[in-house]
Structure 1
């Protein structure tokens, strides 16, 4: 059975998926490239994540996770950059699920207009399976454990030195905000040209982005590079019964950034109920979760006063590169100007405006005056 697929959208309500659901016939065809996995027995869960089609399958040998991307989003060589990071982390003992190679030994398989990957199923309780992006931790214990696990992942990633990823859409990094002239860098990004052509974007970002950028830029130059997860939300973690992290999922946005970028992203993803803004709510940050997340991280990788200062300076801009990447994806790949508008106005500009307001200032001041 292959139901009409819905996916998480840019708001609270599910939307029609941009990509068709996985079908049994597609999986059967794919498994010819993986003869060691046996025959398909069932396709029994479809992921609600929006940027690809994914699900759980059971074959005659195992239960596995299958993910399919359009080649405009992830070509095989682009996807294998992510897989090499996962392989490094797995070899070092990190709690990540290994990617299954096909009969040629490659971990990404091209079929028609699609690129597929198959993962072993990670261990742990999927307590946030249906959670939307930006939904909060269920408990402060989860926030603490997420901080511990993030710091442990950063320790494991320290020996990995691959260059930046090549793909142009759906990556979270700091490439634009690291530039001394970020608006010029945005203007010179081909994937954004069509969307921005009729927008009054330059004065908007001059007002909303540049005041944050000026004090941040010299701090960014001091950060040692590190391959990071860049989507550290509770739904990308599996859990043990005692509230600790069992496994880490979904390295789809991973890239070479720096540790505090990943930590700032974790705060942005989990501690602010951004979807409240859709109903004109104040989106009040959960400072207890922020404290627990930072305390957990500090247990493994101690945070200095300068680190906390950098975090507070970085948080207002940590979403910028990914928000613009979403704009490029929705406009250039999906062909949905409506969704690109939401990514631009509600996500990119809306979050910048929030940080300039009372609730954003409350969060930043709290981090600045903390001692972990």
Structure 2
């Protein structure tokens, strides 16, 4: 450490250190210094205790700024510090205020890279859609009133679920910004979330929960048209999707859980399947009924890759929507992928299967149920309930086991 009067001629004559960096501190203005690195960089800095911590503020590189300019800048910062202002936090705040919604979203996506692809697709669908005019707005410029107005407008043009989802996406980005961007004192640079306004004025729209299921009187027709789609349309995707839809109905699995099922997670000897990636992050092991084993043995004949329900284009069955639409049209029964799950649960309840067994079969959790935490999961105990549910569908759908392969 060296102390001397910092002048232009002094800085010009400074030799480069052999390694690292060296500081030369000014003898007249306490805290003012010049930093020299082995790479040839010379920069003016100000060292000062702020909130009891020694901080170093870079004033500028030499010769981009002169010694006189750097000294004036140092005096300005010292004046701010004397009046209780943290110039580092102030500079960080000024930089943060320039960040746009889209820039923060890019950081969100980069840091939260563990999320599912469909999450990113959904976020960008809204950001490039109804929120596109806000993409290049600074985050600090989006106000509570703007949130209320946009939410109200979306409620008029779209469903309550659509409007609420757009606002939830914005809220998630603001929550990320609050936690991610901090000043040198650990304080958030984005402490306020304007989407909170919707909760404060109770403006979140009520979203009616879907209650649609395939009715028992529709089961036979539904299955008949399912098999017609499988064997008579000639479309390879229809052949796969037909087995996939029946598999969803007989397991209660979510759309993606079934579509991404791999052969490595199928144990035909044990009569189980394993779902490692579920919505609630809890892996699921399900026992297989006789029809489910028949479907899997049948699909094994057409194995082309690691996925049970495979696609030549996308490896797994990524886009079964067209086949579902075809079945809706030919059967006259309107249903969604999740309706199959609801139908499974509804049938299970109608058979007086215990609520604990149903929750385990569909991997539902009840955080408020203390007793549930003491019960050890055992898929063998679920085998009988699973077969009972399948037997109900076998009888009411008139499932023909000749279409499948037995054990």
Q: TM-score of the superposition, structure 1-length normalised?
A: 0.19
Q: Which has the higher contact order (CA 8 A, sep 6+)?
A: 1
> Based on CA coordinates, which of the two structures has the bigger radius of gyration?
2
Q: TM-score of the superposition, structure 2-length normalised?
A: 0.18
